[in-house]
Amino acid sequence: METFDISLVDWSRAQFALTAIYHWIFVPLTLGLSFIVAFMHTIYYKTGSLKWKSTTKFWMKLFGINFAIGVATGIILEFEFGTNWSNYSWIVGDIFGAPLAIEGILAFFIESTFIAVMFFGWTRVSKKFHMLSSWFVAIGSNLSALWILVANAWMQNPVGMQFNPDTARNEMMNFWEVIFSPTAVHKFLHTITSSYVLASFFVIGVSAWFLLKGRHLEFAKRSILIAAVFGLLSSLFTAYSGDGSAYDVAQTQPMKFAAMEGLYDGKEGVDLIAVGMLTPGKKFNDTKDDFVFALKIPKMASILAFRNANAFVPGINDLVNGNKKYKIPALENRILNGKTAIAALRDYKTAKISIRKKQALEKFRLNYKDFGYGYLPDKDSAIPNVPLTFYSFHIMVGLGFLFIMVFALILFYSLKQTLDKKHLLLKLSILMIPLAYISSELGWIVAEVGRQPWTIQDLLPTMASTSHLSTSSVQITFWLFAILFTVLLIAEIKILLHQIKLGPKEERS
């Protein structure tokens, strides 16, 4: 059995997590602000009002600053698949590479082409084409997100492919199944609408600062109204798509769902934890209570997971030890099956006699569904970090409901034209900016930490996905990237704050 350098795996994971977290600071603002700019640009095109022109230009400038730095971190993130995760890239390159290639050739091409027209075409192209360029940038940026999220969704739920034992690679069999799998649909919708929420709060928070300072009042009110409508609709759809995403997780990644709910012992009619504190040091198979305290919604977890109030939801203990009544195999058996599949694949590759190759291939195919489990060292390694997954999920959900309420209040007082008098709500609006970023990052923590130890669910664990590098080289690049990304983030914040303090410029006809 192959042994793995766990320190290399941990540092590779840390480097990728660092890059992804920093990258995601820039991406959601780009996704949402591009549409807000397009809305404002369209209003300027329809009305010809110079006030809307100055409004569009101001938010367009902030979008451009964020977009440029987001591209830099995104390029590094894609390179890391080859540098740090070459084994993963080799095994799934035929599938994972396709959406990434389309993202670069199609979506990023649209973005990068029309962004030049959007910024520099005010007097060089027709007003209609210029307005449309803003929409092409918005559509292009969101198409980029689509293809990246399709690739990530496939890792969470590998469909539309077949393993080729001759090349030891997964090959795509159905492109449309990969794109339109329920996991991909839910992930895309939930991710982009949550990004719209973040961008809306960014616009509202900055505009609220102008109102509190008594500057550019009409500009701020116009911006808040657009962002409040967009944000409220997006936050409602985020909640709806989040429900669909949780349902999909329960079907395809039951261990992640159990970790999200801190559920160790499965049962029928499981309550949903609204607020709770996990028992410190709780492990599977121990006798400790799951929670120190918990406020529960009766049977809601069963409804969320299976649309049935009395449905059985497996817990961590069920998924590790097995449950005969509900036909859940024990993890020990899956590990043995996985080792059998690995050995059979090795025999198939080395066998000289055709009948032995055929026998090995049959044995491999019989056990392939548990192939990845053969790389796990023990049962504990199949359980994700439960506290981190649980708290990230519940804080994210709690913030989501808070966002809906805040958007509703802001829109209500905006329509009543009394928002400028609600100083407490305006200050709260500014606070929503960092909270929206926290919620967005927590969503990715749930998605990625909750699926550990898998790079590809059930097929390839993280420990078998890394490149053959020295741990020290990954450590060095980790700290170099940490310094670089921090400098980029500080630079962006300083530039954004400088532009915000300058405020929008009045346009002259």
* Domain match, 312 and 217 both: no
Is residue 276 over pLDDT 50? yes
pLDDT at 509: 59
pLDDT at 1: 47
Parent domain of 311: 264-318
Q: Which of 318, 337, 356 finishes a domain?
A: 318
* Domain match, 103 and 62 both: yes
Q: What is the DSSP string of 60-112?
A: HHHHHHHHHHHHHHHHHHHHHHHHT-HHHHHHHHHHHHHHHHHIIIIIHHHHH
Q: Which of 300, 318, 336 finishes a domain?
A: 318
pLDDT at 184: 94
Q: Are 207 and 227 in contact (CB under 8 A)?
A: yes
pLDDT at 17: 92
pLDDT in tens, 286-337: 888 889 999 999 999 999 999 999 999 999 999 999 999 999 999 999 999 9
Residue 420 domain flag? yes
* Domain match, 311 and 237 both: no
Residue 34 domain flag? yes
pLDDT in tens, 207-247: 999 999 999 999 999 999 999 999 999 999 999 999 999 99
Q: Where is average pLDDT lowest: 84-93, 303-312, 485-494?
A: 84-93
Residue 380 domain flag? no
Residue 361 domain flag? no
Q: Are 60 and 118 in contact (CB under 8 A)?
A: yes
Dihedral, CA of residue 179, residue 28, residue 255 and residue 278, to nearest 10: -170
- Mean pLDDT of all residues in 40-58: 94
The residue to which tokens 């991406």 are assigned: 27
Q: Where is average pLDDT lowest: 32-41, 80-89, 117-126, 355-364?
A: 80-89
* Domain match, 19 and 160 both: yes
Dist CA 506 CA 54 (whole Å): 6
* Domain match, 196 and 278 both: no
* Domain match, 148 and 187 both: yes
Q: Are 57 and 434 in contact (CB under 8 A)?
A: no
pLDDT at 40: 95
Cα dist from 458 to 167, 271, 479, whole Å: 20, 27, 31
* Domain match, 287 and 165 both: no
pLDDT at 3: 62
* Domain match, 106 and 133 both: yes
Q: Which of 318, 343, 358 finishes a domain?
A: 318
* Domain match, 38 and 170 both: yes
Handedness of CA 279, 280, 282, 286 (dihedral sign): negative
* Domain match, 38 and 95 both: yes
pLDDT at 103: 78
Residue 370 domain flag? no
* Domain match, 301 and 185 both: no
Q: Where is average pLDDT lowest: 83-97, 189-203, 302-316, 391-405?
A: 83-97
pLDDT at 278: 93
The pLDDT confidence band at residue 183, using thresholds 50, 70 and 90, is: very high
Dist CA 115 CA 43 (whole Å): 19
- 230 phi/psi in degrees, rounded to 5: -60, -40
Residue 349 domain flag? no
pLDDT in tens, 390-409: 999 999 999 999 999 999 99
* Domain match, 429 and 496 both: yes
Q: Which residues lie closer than 8 Å to 370 by C-beta, 6 or more apart?
A: 334, 335, 337, 338, 341, 458
Number of independent structural domains in the chain: 2
pLDDT in tens, 106-137: 777 888 789 999 999 998 999 999 999 999 99
Dist CA 214 CA 483 (whole Å): 38
Mean pLDDT of the chain: 91
